[in-house]
Amino acid sequence: MKRREATHPTRDQLLEAGLALAENGSLARMSVNTLVQAAGVAKGTFYVHFPSQDEYLVALHRHFHDSLMREISMAVKSLPRGAARLVRGTEAYLDGCLSRRGVKALLFDARALPAVADEVRARNRMFHTHFAGEFSALGWPDPEAAMRLFVAMAAETALGEMEAGRVQPALRKALWRFLGVVPKRRKPRH
Amino acid sequence: MKRREATHPTRDQLLEAGLALAENGSLARMSVNTLVQAAGVAKGTFYVHFPSQDEYLVALHRHFHDSLMREISMAVKSLPRGAARLVRGTEAYLDGCLSRRGVKALLFDARALPAVADEVRARNRMFHTHFAGEFSALGWPDPEAAMRLFVAMAAETALGEMEAGRVQPALRKALWRFLGVVPKRRKPRH
DNA sequence: TGTACATCAGTGAACGCGCGTTCACTGATGTAC
DNA sequence: TGTACATCAGTGAACGCGCGTTCACTGATGTAC
């Protein structure tokens, strides 16, 4: 076995422990002590893999954000620009949030931590720019502003669904109605 | 002078200091030490007026939320239910946020602090219920869900304006467009 | 009016605690020869 | 194959620090008589 591997199992253990801890509590409560205890490693090991707690939190947020973005990209990659693509991407986002407990702390409370605030802002802006094309295809005069507000609604819907622990059709329907589209049924009655 | 007054100037001093500190930093950074130093009182004085730091944070959030709600109520009180009332109330909210620096930490980052999370949730629900009537007047099938998403958009607009330090017409226009209304010009061209 | 006492906002030194971070060390494994 | 050395993830006791909270005390002011 090589001395250096591309993968770092202990590092991943620490990130996984962070995800698990995020499930029931805010990021503000995530101390290095709790973290290493949950990961089952010594305290010093934490600093073998992360230069500081702040950098760990950024890495954790990034890790999570990336995997969610990947799912969304997969879901929409074969669709042309427009409302259907936006709806499909949003559904992937909502389902992705629901399937991961802990996302709440990671994506929503993260903004309040000075350490990750910049990271969150940068990621959001990237996201807005990347998907603004959908609104421009829909004929909105300022697609980026529209996208920003739409993301806020999608995030609120995700929050509501995570609080309830299941899909909230009322919120999703309101979301599509604000968008001005009625998504096609998957299995239309005939 | 009576021994007990209804007003507690030192208590107010502490709350004011909190508002001032919130202007440049998150609530997570607001320690009792910083607070009493900013208010110019001894550390023990803090505990004369507040039983704990958590209760102080709740009081601070409530203080702020109340004054903003009062402004909104004033702005809409003579208007009948419907879109115009909603637009007017939202404008009062956005202007109120812009005029107070520090609102960002108090209204947006507060959710991440376990101590105030419940308070924030309760206030938001109250707010949704209270104004959901506007959406029901507009014929929405689930007014409360619609209101919840609309508030999320209004909050995002407020955030954008606070980041920029001034009104962002692009965001406001997108907000009205999502609502499906075009607000009347105050001074229409003829 | 004068005196003794009660009240209570305000004080600040002191407390224990948990935090993030450091560092000398261990031990398993790879490399040189 | 055997030996000496290098590498480096992992360890855990120890560190200093700032935190939230306590408490015996002060002193100004109100009350009783």
Quote the CA–CA distance of B174 and A178 in Å, as a whole number: 11
Per-residue pLDDT of A147-163, as tens digits, reads 999 999 999 999 999 99
Q: What is the DSSP letter of A28?
A: G
Within 8 A by CB and 6+ apart from A100, the residues are A19, A64, A68
Q: What are phi and psi of A87, to 5 degrees?
A: -65, -45
C-alpha–C-alpha distance, residues B54 and B56, integer Å: 5
Kindly indicate the confidence band of residue B6, based on its pLDDT and cuts at 50, 70 and 90. Answer: low
Q: Cβ contact (<8 Å) for A170 and B145? A: yes
For residue A150, which residues of chain B lie inside 8 Å, CB to CB? 178
Q: Is the pLDDT of residue B176 over 90?
A: yes
User: If you compute the radius of gyration of chain A from its CA atoms, what whole number of angstroms results?
Assistant: 19
Q: Which of B26, B116, B148, B159 is the mutation pick for testing A, counting most A CBs within 10 A?
A: B148
Residues A23, A171, B144, A124: is their CA dihedral positive or negative? Answer: positive
Q: Model's pTM, two decimal places?
A: 0.90
List pLDDT tens digits, range B124-137.
Answer: 888 898 889 999 99
- Residue A152's nearest CA partner among A116, A111, A102, A100 is A111
DSSP state for residue A166 in the 8-state scheme: S
Distance of residue A170 Cα from the nearest chain B Cα, in angstroms? 6
Give the tens place of pLDDT for each residue, B84-132.
999 999 999 999 999 988 888 888 888 888 889 999 999 988 889 888 9
A110, A114, A175 member nearest B149 (Cβ): A175
- Report CA(A42)–C1'(D15) in Å, whole number: 17
Q: Give the DSSP letter of residue A29.
A: G
Give the model's pLDDT for residue A101. 82
Measure A107 CA to nearest chain B CA, in Å.
Answer: 11
Cross-chain CB nearest to B148 (options A25, A112, A156): A156
DSSP secondary structure code for residue B5 in this structure:
-
